[in-house]
Amino acid sequence: MSDDTRAIANQQARDQKKEAYLRAIHDRYAEQFRMTADQDAISVARATHAAMDVVLERDRQKDADSSGIRCGKGCSHCCHEPVEIWAYEAALLVEIAREAGITLDRMRLERQGRYSAENWRQQPAQDRACGFLGADGACTVYEFRPNVCRKLLVVTDPALCDTSNGQPDSVGRWFSWEAELMESAALEMFGASVMPKALLAALNVKG
Ligand code: SF4
């Protein structure tokens, strides 16, 4: 076997090992979520958000690159992008909005709900913002925000997150494999939809 062939074989073995390791993490979360079938939606959403925070904090501690994360309060470009959540998160957000006296604008949600993640940016600029974004650029439900918002952490200049000028995305992210796999398992298990659609569905359940 030549050195080149040996190097390729070693790389393939490493890739397979990594794939199996990541698959095992995903399957572990999928199994955990399957076990929540008898629990209420809001408890599951809260517990999964807490688990996400623990994973992100642990992985940030382990990875020096995370010190370059630039996200901060008031920076909200990503809150104008499509946000995919799962139904239990929508149930939690509707409940929190009710408790906090936040009025969800159904007409705006319905307008937003006509767009998908693929064509979100085609809607009028004034409609693109998340309904929970405050006038000061801060999230009004920060403690209860969906996991997709928790794990979106950017290491490039925040100005690059502004897509309103039609520039292509050139954002650099810091990410945790485990956080990505947890969210992927949750979206697969509980169903994914853009936030306005998920909120409308939750509002209709609530009545
Ligand atoms: S829930 Fe909060 S953090 Fe997430 S998109 Fe909406 S305003 Fe932004």
Q: What is the pLDDT along the chain (207 residues), one digit of tens a residue?
A: 788 888 999 999 999 999 999 999 999 999 999 999 899 999 999 999 999 999 999 999 999 999 999 999 989 999 999 999 999 999 999 999 999 999 999 999 999 999 999 999 999 988 999 999 999 999 999 999 999 999 999 999 999 998 887 666 789 999 999 999 999 999 999 999 999 999 999 999 866
In angstroms, what is the span from residue 62 Cα to ligand 1's centroid?
26
Return the pLDDT at 206: 66
Question: Domain coordinates of the chain in residue numbers?
Answer: 3-206
Q: What is the largest CA-CA distance in the chain?
A: 70
Residue nearest to atom 5 of ligand 1 (CA): 79
For residue 145, the ligand 1 atom closest to its alpha carbon is 1
Q: Which residues line ligand 1 (CB under 6 A)?
A: 79, 83, 130, 132-133, 139, 141, 145-146, 149
Residue nearest to atom 4 of ligand 1 (CA): 149
Return the pLDDT at 90: 98
The structure's pTM equals 0.92
